[in-house]
Amino acid sequence: MAKSVLTPQSEDFPRWYQEVIQKAEMAENGPVRGTMIIRPWGYAIWERIQKELDERIRATGHKNAYFPLFIPMPFLEREAEHVEGFSPELAVVTHGGGSELGEPVAVRPTSETVIGDAMSRWIQSHRDLPLLLNQWANVVRWELRPRLFLRTSEFLWQEGHTAHATWEDAQAETLRMHEVYADLMQSVLAIDPVLGRKTDTERFAGAEATYTLEALMRDGKALQMGTSHNLGQNFARAFDIGFSTPEGDRELCWMTSWGVSTRVVGALIMVHGDDRGLRLPPALAPAQVVVLAVRDETSDVCQRVSGELRALGLRVETDVDTHTGFGRRVTDWELKGVPIRIEIGPRDVEEDSMTLVRRDTGAKESVALGSAASVVPETLRTIQAELLGQATARQDEMTTDVENVDEIVSGDGNGFMRLPWVDVSADGERRLNEHGLSVRCLVAPEGSVPTTEGAIESSLAYVARAY
């Protein structure tokens, strides 16, 4: 057994996290504090997420567009709660073209305001509704304590913005996208987050209701993986986004917004990663299989097997860099989390076989050279399913029911602690915050998302330490 490449998770989880990002060549710090250089391997993972999510966003009838990075300050100020929520982390440009600007402009922390301004012109009639837009963009929220992927001053995301004729339509949209996110997490990222509603203290600045997806990382801390907001008429009022009804009355639109960011890459690392590195779900992995030549003389066979697998539509890397030691290459691919490694050496070729190794379990088996096309896809499906199964089981194990806030505050603060929301309330929430804990979300007793006052009253609070 070779000595471990990474600091074990059990020894120092934050250090493990940093090391795995560095050694898997995913990302590094940019020259300005809080910025991130996303390296090809990390970016390829993000692009996979983008592709999967973009397809789902289009499939639900949304169109992509692009709005400016710079936002006039007065825009942000129009919605009182919105500006208050974002002003501490706002980056403001004061100079341009060599001189001080008369009107400073903000670098977007999110785009509700610019998009709202445009929508107010684009929407005139009920026939213009619903208006379903999405944009892929970078945003800036100045961070004092940055962490790669989890919290950076600039990050990449997708933000959806929609306008509807009724509250019911907006609510349906909010919940629909919440579900789209859940599907992405489960079927692609192999993570099964808790779907719930944010308390008023954690609600998005300017929203009427915020719905969230919260997952537990391996160290027992929670991470918000996505949010979907019902904005009510708050922004419609601030930006005068109205429409004429069929009856000829003028009414304000009901709006939503929803987003998923590069932060989910952090979740992926911390949910599935182990002491050997990343473990990527096949649906997401930029390379699902790496075919590795043990010796130079087996390179041709490797190329052939890779070709067969690519013909099936699989993403395949071929590693015939025999100049580098075998062990070294094995370790590197494990760090990068490629789900299946196929090793082909002289011994395999002699027996007309190859060695197939699963990254998730480490299990090795010798299979016939000709069977790649049948064995590999099957194994990829198995890995995808088992990663989700493991992650879900671990999260369940780390979720405990508790009696009251005292019990939480006196405990070790690990995992989700669940109790009736009425037993927490605003006062209990403050106490939790003082102890570095927070109510991550509220879930209705039957497991659904609470949408009414009554459902909130009877809901369960999920409490955890959070990233």
Partner RNA sequence: CGGGACGUGGCGCAGUUUGGUUAGCGCGCAGCGUUCGGGACGCUGAGGUCGCGGGUUCAAAUCCCGCCGUCCCGACCA
Nearest approach, Cβ of residue 121 and RNA (Å): 27
Instruction: Classify each residue of 197-213 as buried b or exposed e, where b means 16 or more C-beta atoms within 10 Å of its C-beta.
Output: bbbeebbbbbbbbbbbb
Restricted to residues 38-77, the positions that interact with RNA (CB under 7 A) are none
When the beta carbons of 108 and 263 are compared against RNA, the nearer one is 263
* Cis before 130? omega within 30: yes
Which two structure tokens, joined as six digits, stand for 358? 């699963």
Nearest approach, Cβ of residue 407 and RNA (Å): 22
Is 276 a residue that touches RNA (CB under 7 A)?
A: yes
Contact pick of 262, 384, 395, 459 for RNA (by CB under 7 A): 262
Site string for RNA, 6-25 (x = CB under 7 A): x----------------x--
Is 79 a residue that touches RNA (CB under 7 A)?
A: no
When the beta carbons of 263 and 279 are compared against RNA, the nearer one is 263
Site string for RNA, 87-126 (x = CB under 7 A): -xx-------------------------------------
Residue 35: what residue type?
Answer: T
Nearest approach, Cβ of residue 139 and RNA (Å): 8
Q: Say whether 310 sits in a helix, a strand or coil.
A: helix
Max CA pair span of the chain: 81
Closest CA to 198 of 380, 441, 392: 441
When the beta carbons of 246 and 327 are compared against RNA, the nearer one is 327
Is 295 a residue that touches RNA (CB under 7 A)?
A: yes
Closest CA to 233 of 87, 68, 116: 116
Do strands 460-464 and 438-443 pair parallel, antiparallel, or not at all (unpaired)? Answer: antiparallel
Q: Whole-angstrom Cα distance, residue 440 to residue 220?
A: 13
Is 85 a residue that touches RNA (CB under 7 A)?
A: yes
Which two structure tokens, joined as six digits, stand for 405? 């806030």
When the beta carbons of 243 and 258 are compared against RNA, the nearer one is 258
Contact pick of 95, 145, 247, 427 for RNA (by CB under 7 A): 145
Nearest approach, Cβ of residue 209 and RNA (Å): 13
Restricted to residues 311-370, the positions that interact with RNA (CB under 7 A) are 322-323, 325-328, 330-332, 334, 343-349, 355, 357, 362, 364
> What does each C-alpha distance from 371 to 81, 207, 341, 367, 374 come to in angstroms?
61, 54, 15, 7, 6
Nearest approach, Cβ of residue 45 and RNA (Å): 15
Q: Whole-angstrom Cα distance, residue 117 to residue 77?
A: 13
Q: Which residue in this structure is represented by tokens 């719930």?
A: 196
When the beta carbons of 205 and 442 are compared against RNA, the nearer one is 205
Nearest approach, Cβ of residue 173 and RNA (Å): 18
Is 205 a residue that touches RNA (CB under 7 A)?
A: yes
Is 430 a residue that touches RNA (CB under 7 A)?
A: no
CB atoms within 10 A of CB 28: 14
When the beta carbons of 288 and 298 are compared against RNA, the nearer one is 298
Nearest approach, Cβ of residue 211 and RNA (Å): 11
Q: Which residue in this structure is represented by tokens 């050997």?
A: 276
Q: Whole-angstrom Cα distance, residue 19 to residue 17?
A: 5
Q: Which residue in this structure is represented by tokens 């709006």?
A: 255
Element (H, E) at 56: helix 40-59
Is 3 a residue that touches RNA (CB under 7 A)?
A: yes
Restricted to residues 221-240, the positions that interact with RNA (CB under 7 A) are 224-227
When the beta carbons of 208 and 343 are compared against RNA, the nearer one is 343
Which two structure tokens, joined as six digits, stand for 309? 């697998």
- The footprint of RNA on this chain (CB under 7 A) covers a number of residues equal to 61
Is 263 a residue that touches RNA (CB under 7 A)?
A: yes
> What does each C-alpha distance from 214 to 184, 211, 348, 466 come to in angstroms?
13, 10, 45, 9
Which two structure tokens, joined as six digits, stand for 424? 């927490």
> What does each C-alpha distance from 188 to 28, 198, 279 come to in angstroms?
25, 24, 13
Residues that bind RNA (CB under 7 A): 1-6, 23, 29, 32-33, 85, 88-89, 141, 143-145, 150-153, 155, 157, 202, 204-205, 224-227, 259, 261-263, 276, 294-296, 322-323, 325-328, 330-332, 334, 343-349, 355, 357, 362, 364, 433, 466
